[in-house]
Amino acid sequence: MIAKACQSTDALVGIIRNSFPGFGDSAVDPIHGRQVFFYKRAQIGVGDLWASLGNMCTTNVCDLERCCQFKDVGRLTMFADYRVPQLLRDAGALQYSSALASKIDQHVELMAGCMDELYIRAVTVVAVDQLVDLVKDELRSRQSQSVDHDATIQFDELIQSVTAVMIDWHLWNDGEKRDREGTLKPHHRVRTIFY
């Protein structure tokens, strides 16, 4: 399965989605009638393979590790679930209507695929993509101020490494820590197999 993807995250997400129907994470936008695809579990599986095997820099690379050195990790979105929107809401980067905020704060379970759940997940994907752009812009700005050639090369590598996957992992881990400390507002609740 991994070898068939030819080092493409897009291809492997598609293979996983087609092989395991429970990974076909999508919903229909109730206002516009369009189907929206998240594929959270398939994407996180590919992201984890890349992080554990493909992101390794070894001279004796086995076939599995080589297969996981994806050329298009930047094509993966963040893994749309509950923790990152919880953190972004707490930080003020996401704002919910008072009605939705009340539901979430009172631990009201949202219906899987409902408009509120769909938009929370979709806007979180957009917000993380915007964070990726902001971080890359800041790094480019710092790079342009650098006179050190070696630092410029390091900036190029760092800019390339900033992806939605990396931002998601950072935010998710921070959210997990802050949730254990009890310093976050509640997250939205949905009974679903997709996350």
End-to-end CA distance of the chain: 22
Structure tokens, 35: 């189907």
Alpha-carbon distance 89 to 166, whole Å? 19
Per the annotation, the verdict on 150 as an active-site residue is no
10 Å CB burial of residue 113 (0-12, 13-18, 19+) is: middle
Catalytic residue among 48, 72, 81, 168: 81
10 Å CB burial of residue 53 (0-12, 13-18, 19+) is: middle
Q: With contact defined as beta carbons under 8 Å apart, do 7 and 71 qualify?
A: yes
Closest CA to 116 of 25, 29, 23: 29
Structure tokens, 168: 């998601």
**Residue linked to tokens 């507002």:** 185
Active-site annotation, residues: 81
